[in-house]
Amino acid sequence: MSCRLSVNLNRVAVLRNSRGGGEPDILHAADVCLDAGAHGITVHPRPDARHTRHDDVVALSALARARGVEFNLEGNPFAPAREGYAGFLALCELVRPMQATLVPDTDAQLTSDHGFDFARDGAALRPLVVRLKALGCRVSLFADAGCDVAGAAATGADRIELYTGPWAEAFAAGRGEAALPAFAATARAAREAGLGVNAGHDLSQANLGAFLAAVPGVEEVSIGHALIGEALYAGLATTVSRYLAIIDHAG
């Protein structure tokens, strides 16, 4: 199975929210990405609603369903509900995303920056995975290279999503080759344990090809920040097409 591209639209929502109103239109952006060949749409609504919000989740889920593509909803299942944020499990119950990606982020984090500690969090994750799978969601868990793959598999999840921030940082510093073996070994161990492998965070046109060439069996990459930034110069449809070409070449 070749790798698939899911476009994270959080940064479109950040730009919209910085001014108020409805522009840029996140639904229009989703349509442009899908028309250009993206395989799905990702959003990670946070409790403070600093980018994608409850209404975005509902609208994008309906769009993805109408177009027959994957909607990937990310979030921290342990974050409490509050005004304007129903909670991750409640959102999943409402829209039933094709994939639910669990991420251990907190309000204080500017962005996701680490995976789960499965020895510590595994017991708490297991009943949540059961609930999400009962909704028909494929469940993916955010994970670091070198993580306890057996612990991840024991939760009953379907996949892990490798947190690729350290890879991007090493690549930018000219140390990419040294970072790749840990990711490749974790991906191989995950597949041997019956887990699928996704990847995401700080992937870009510059570093994606080398990552996919070295890390076996990546089924999906979720890319947002770099893709939206690059689209400011080249256009959204063109940028999505360039990512798909990188994925095809690596495959």
Instruction: Report the CATH number that the domain containing residue 15 is assigned in CATH.
Output: 3.20.20.70
pLDDT (0 to 100) of residue 114: 81
Q: Is residue 74 annotated as part of the catalytic site, yes or no?
A: yes
Average pLDDT score over the chain: 95
pLDDT (0 to 100) of residue 246: 98
Instruction: Please report, in angstroms and rounded to a whole number, the separation of the first and last CA atoms in the chain.
Output: 9
Catalytic residue of the set 39, 51, 201, 230 = 201
Each residue's pLDDT tens digit, 44-71:
999 988 899 999 999 999 999 999 999 9
pLDDT (0 to 100) of residue 108: 63
Q: How far apart are CA 74 and CA 187, in angstroms?
A: 20
Place 84 in a pLDDT band, splitting at 50, 70 and 90.
Answer: confident
Distance of CA 148 to the CA centre of its chain: 20
Q: How many structural domains is the chain composed of?
A: 1
Percent over 70 (pLDDT), the chain: 97
Q: Is residue 44 annotated as part of the catalytic site, yes or no?
A: yes
**Does the pLDDT value for residue 1 go beyond 60?**
no
Catalytic residue of the set 39, 51, 70, 74 = 74
Place 146 in a pLDDT band, splitting at 50, 70 and 90.
Answer: very high
Q: Is residue 114 annotated as part of the catalytic site, yes or no?
A: no
Owning domain of residue 210: 4-250
Smallest CA-to-CA distance from 142 within 115, 172, 176, 111 is with 115
Each residue's pLDDT tens digit, 207-225:
999 999 999 999 999 999 9
